[in-house]
Structure 1
């Protein structure tokens, strides 16, 4: 019986030994334990959530608890022995769950299988000797994994526009990469955009490559007319960046990883920068309103676009109370032709300033003009005005301030405004009141004429009419006066005939005046 009892006790001892051996083996096969910090524990479950690399399980979530400051969630992950290299400090962890963003939909497969923690151990060539036990998990998954081939570039832009992480990078409308992220520069003047170009498209990025923002639809009404351009459907939702090699740039070498470029607002601006070199920044001071002039409006010289408007500001002088409008322009003087470039010599700034001074003396001025009647947009024109008065011009000022002349239409408006101002000073109210008083006086006079003078005039006219009627009756053909007058005239005619006979007789017998007429005298006596 004692032998049997000893055998019975050997069974649990053997079980303990086997269990211990298994535990030791399991412990020896177990990998490191790491802590990953996340903003939220959404869709994570201790004991269930898996850790995967390329859909291969390499560990499991063991525990979840809050950080000491209660701002993040710490996920305790037990890695397998074969996943020791995922404890290297360069490893990245993130949660894969269904996500909907402007760049698309991802993680739909986890809607049924559940979320999991994805890992990226970094390049295979990276050293793994340095291990870490704490990692910071990003809220969004990285756009580029360590095993993805390509190059990263940094783009310097004036503004971010519609770009976001994940926005496509296009090469001749083929998606060649994506935007990884962005940040402001140290001085806050520009935006630094981090992009990744996949292989083999990264081989097309050279020192002569130009970059520009490519939105889904580019619709513009400007002083240079109507423009409509489209890009890919992806860039329609989240914006995009396009790149290409400038045609006028000589042969260039392939760009290195991490190279920096300038990100232009559009393709036209990018091509101009590549072909015409660095822009010369100048200013123009206008006394009139700059309404209708927008940033990006062209600067025209006899139909040739020399640059664009870069900024519009207001300059107030407290001493004089004067307010001027300042337009900052980016000009490309090289577009004036090879003779202009020859006149500059080898890029000598002194020669360039002397040439500019001569042009100003010959009447070169800036003028604000209407570019489109439909949109009301304006542009800045450079032209020669020989009759423009000479003004002092400082070529040493930075930036150079080019003189301007007012627009002809603006001058006409000013003249009309002066006329209107003079008309405003005319006392129309006083004139109206005086005229009203005069009209009232005239109305009173007319009323008096009608009530007093008109009846008397009517009586006078009636008396005159009666006198005329009496004279007419007196002078009528059958009136007594006419008969008496006719008889008198007949007698007068007879008297005149008698006098004529007497005169003839006296002429023949003058002695009759003395002797009288002898009725018995014979002829010849």
Structure 2
């Protein structure tokens, strides 16, 4: 076989072409795809840089400039003022362009306001805008995101809504000097402030918005009481003279304090935002409003009650157990004008504090037994300077038994006269006894006896020379004198005349006993000295405050200068 000769298998294989897979997409088509992706990215970048438009309405556009005024959140720029429009109702409408990466800060309760230099309530804010210009502040607030139209605030809120804390509401008829910016204190520690103030014309009440910092939330409960503690307060009551001199800051801006009336009351349940409290004028008013009555008694006094007022304390052997709630003849029907009705209330908390439970559980039967043992009520003076009275309850065994009575729906507690009232009554009784003596007839008999003695002496003088015949007449005259002296002796030895020294002696002893507390070692004398010392101290404090304000009025704002810079005062 020659070399050119081919086999049948090789010839057939040369007749079939080689089949290879074709390319489906050419690499050249990647260029348009990349260009499209790049274009979409540039478009997104453009919209990200442009941001979203937000509309905010304000009463004025003072200090705002299109293209320059920034929108900030926590001092970080998040947008810019794009346009300012004046609507038909003369309201300013702002178009704010917010960067896309900050759009999530726009929520349901977001707030916008203009930050500029402000002076309010003795405080200065926004001084940085004097050079940089005003800007618009955003407080993100809470709620669902997505809102784009907002009503701007005319004044900035004292505390942004996004700051955690407790927001409460106080209601009062007379706010005094309390206003927006006043501090809220707990045991003289600043824990919050007054955020807002509105007047409700329907109920004629002032409503304050209060913010309590989050770390102090546990100090507030449903039993918490709020009261004002600002301004100079001088009160005179059964406890004496009470002078309250607050700080200069409280005098200028007012101050609100809160707490529990006493440590025995629990804090109560936890409160949430919007809880409403009553704001009382002072702590005494708050204590009176939280009074928990455990029983009422009606008293009738047949003496002057000048110095006894509603709110005067009721004590049992020196322990305060209640207060006087009402003084009125309308408490009972057909009241006699010779007896003044006084209604007293016993405080459940004070009774539980001073008395064991077994005494508290006796109820009406225990009161009836106490009356039989001599339980009585009386008026006593708490201060000779102010003349204030209080009701004192004590046992007087010599008064005999008394029974529980009911009048006008009230239990009647018998009364007795003690102290100065009892002394006055006893002095009056002694004077009446002296007036009842037959002094007129006694004087007439003494005058007749004296006249007879004088006549006798004249007769004896005229007839001394004729002693004989006149001896019988002289003896008769002596007998008449003896009879007159006997009659005078009988008058002087009578029971009514002998009783006068004893009555006077007893009266003097009672006066001495009643005035003993007024001696140098007595309790009343000590109370008087302490009261006068407190008045002198308060007067000196007020004089120092007046001199400070007179010499340096700006000390109310900038405070008292340090002692190292004091200039010696010249003698006046």
The one of 99, 110, 113 equivalent to 1:94 is: 113
Provide the C-alpha distance between the structure 1 equivalents of 2:241 and 2:110, rounded to a whole number of angstroms. Answer: 51
Tell me which residue corresponds to 2:139. Answer: 120
The CA deviation at 1:122 is 0.4
**1:104 matches 2:139:** no
Cα deviation for residue 330 of structure 1 reads 5.8
Tell me the equivalent position of 2:76.
56
Shift in Å, 1:121: 1.8
Q: In structure 2, list runs of 5 or more residues that go unmatched.
A: 1-41, 428-572
Aligned to 1:146: 161
Question: Helix, strand or coil for the counterpart of 1:234?
Answer: helix
Offset of residue 304 of structure 1: 2.0
Q: Does 1:81 align with 2:99?
A: yes
Match of 1:342 in 2: 358
**Aligned residue number for residue 34 of structure 1:** 55
Counterpart in the other structure of 1:372:
383
Q: CA deviation at 1:328?
A: 7.1
Measure, in 2, the Cα distance between the counterparts of 1:371 and 1:100: 49
Q: Partner residue of 2:252?
A: 237
Q: For 1:236, what is the secondary structure of its paired residue?
A: helix
Distance 1:74 1:134 in 2: 12
- Residues 1:53 and 1:334: Cα distance change in structure 2 (over 3 Å): closer
- Asked whether the 8 Å contact 2:380–2:419 carries over to 1, the reply is no
How many Å apart are 1:134 and its aligned residue?
4.1
Does residue 172 in structure 1 map to residue 172 in structure 2? no
What is the alpha-carbon distance in structure 1 between the residues aligned to residue 412 and residue 320 of structure 2? 19
Measure, in 1, the Cα distance between the counterparts of 2:121 and 2:232. 16
2: CA distance, partners of 1:401 / 1:261: 37
Change (3 A) 1:339 1:56: closer
Partner of 2:406 in structure 1?
393
Tell me, in whole angstroms, the C-alpha distance in 1 between the residues paired with 2:82 and 2:401. Answer: 81
Q: Is the 8 A contact 2:222 2:270 kept in 1?
A: yes
Determine which of 209, 214, 221 is the counterpart of 1:199: 214
Aligned to 1:133: 149
1:225–1:252 Cα change, 3 Å = closer
| Structure 2 CA distance for aligned equivalents of residues 151 and 222 of structure 1 | 37
Residues in 2 aligned to 1:323 and 1:86: alpha-carbon distance in whole angstroms: 76
Change (3 A) 1:303 1:316: closer
Shift of 1:181: 4.3
C-alpha separation between the residues in 1 aligned to 2:422 and 2:61?
68
**Equivalent-residue separation in structure 1 for 2:65 and 2:299 (angstroms):** 68
- Kindly indicate whether residue 242 of structure 2 is the aligned counterpart of residue 223 of structure 1: no
CA–CA distance in 1 between the matches of 2:313 and 2:293?
A: 14
TM-score, length-scaled by structure 2: 0.49
Structure 1 gap ranges (5+): 1-20, 346-350, 417-525
Deviation (angstroms), 1:169: 1.8
| Mapping for residues 120-519 of structure 1, pairs under 5 Å | 120-123=139-142, 126-129=143-146, 131=147, 133-135=149-151, 137=153, 139-153=154-168, 160-181=175-196, 194-205=209-220, 211-215=226-230, 218-229=233-244, 232-244=247-259, 248-249=263-264, 255-258=270-273, 278-280=292-294, 282=296, 292=307, 296-308=311-323, 331-336=346-351, 339=355, 341-345=357-361, 352=363, 355=366, 369-382=380-393, 386=399, 392-394=405-407
Task: Give the secondary structure class of the aligned counterpart of 2:112.
Answer: strand
- In structure 2, the residue matched to 1:8 is none
Q: What is the alpha-carbon distance in structure 1 between the residues aligned to residue 108 and residue 425 of structure 2?
A: 72
Matched length: 378
Shift in Å at residue 402 of structure 1?
Answer: 7.1
